[in-house]
Copies of this chain bind each other. A is one copy, B any other.
Amino acid sequence: MSLAETSTGVALWRRVADSIEQSIADGTYPRNSKLPGETEIAELHRVNRHTVRRALAALAERGLVRAERGSGTYVEAPRIAYPLRSRTRFSEIVSAGGHEASGKLLSASIEDAPQDLAKHLGLKTGAPLLRIDALRTADRMPICVGSTWVDADRFPDGGKLYEKMQSITKVLAHFGIRDYRREWTNVTAAIADAADAARLDLALGRPVLVVEKLDTEMNGKPLIISRSRFAAERVQFVIEN
């Protein structure tokens, strides 16, 4: 028998990693809890601390745990699966995941369409847009913050309505738009700036997912354009084909 591997042929550090992953999955190590110290895990598995560190590094790379120097290693809360489909509604997605969805209006205003937004919405530059800035949460935890623009002429007093209804979908329904569909979604990532950190309750320097999307009416007419920033550590986009 080798030192590095047993008869199974699986590296020791990987077996330790699998074991810890299992303990996370079955709730032995609950979400957001602190794992035992590296030396303690090493004693538990009768391996060297380096072996434990290799295992934890593998789990950290996959986002299952997070090491904090001087403090400990913690189980990451699972990310909300956020499917990007033809039908994509924040509240439906969050509710379907068993969480309580909520939207908080940050500001609503009328502004004149800059070039790029006007182009996406099929309007003229300078056309009046209703802009809604909102923070969306799941179980009181901020998930994303962003701005949404719609043609202001089509939805008079839309800002006040949103404040009451807390849902863009409902505001649109009030104006007779029963359904709409996601046309395209652009996704990239950035580092949380001070504004993100404050509104999303994130530490500075944490990653955010930067999303730009267009919704259209069922006949293909542009309806909603929005730009938002998601706390990457709380969501995982899912694209199914």
Contact = CB atoms under 8 A, between A and B. Distances in A.
Contact of A188 (B11, B84, B116, B209): B209
B115 A21 contact: yes
Given A10-B112, A21-B116, A207-B191, A186 B236 contact: yes
Nearest to A192: B207
Interface stretch (A40-48, A156-164, A176-184): A176-184
B238 A185 contact: yes
Interface string A105-129: 0000001101110000000001000
A236 B17 CA distance: 32
A3 interface: no
Nearest to A11: B111
Interface string A61-74: 11100000000000
A9 B189 CA distance: 32
Interface string A176-220: 000001111111111101000000000001111110000000000
Given A62-B227, A205-B191, A8 B185 contact: no
Given A84-B239, A207-B190, A9 B181 contact: no
A99 interface: no
A18 interface: yes
Contacts of A191: 191, 205-207
A188 B237 contact: yes
Nearest to A237: B187
B240 A188 contact: no
14 contacts: A10-B112, A79-B188, A183-B240, A183-B241, A184-B238, A185-B239, A186-B238, A187-B238, A188-B209, A189-B209, A190-B207, A191-B191, A207-B208, A207-B232
Interface of A: 8-11, 14, 17-18, 21-22, 61-63, 79, 81, 84-86, 111-112, 114-116, 126, 181-191, 193, 205-210, 227, 232-233, 235-241
Given A183-B240, A186-B236, A191-B205, 19 more contacts: A8-B126, A22-B115, A63-B190, A63-B210, A81-B186, A86-B241, A183-B241, A186-B238, A186-B239, A187-B187, A187-B239, A188-B232, A188-B233, A188-B235, A189-B232, A190-B207, A205-B205, A207-B208, A207-B232
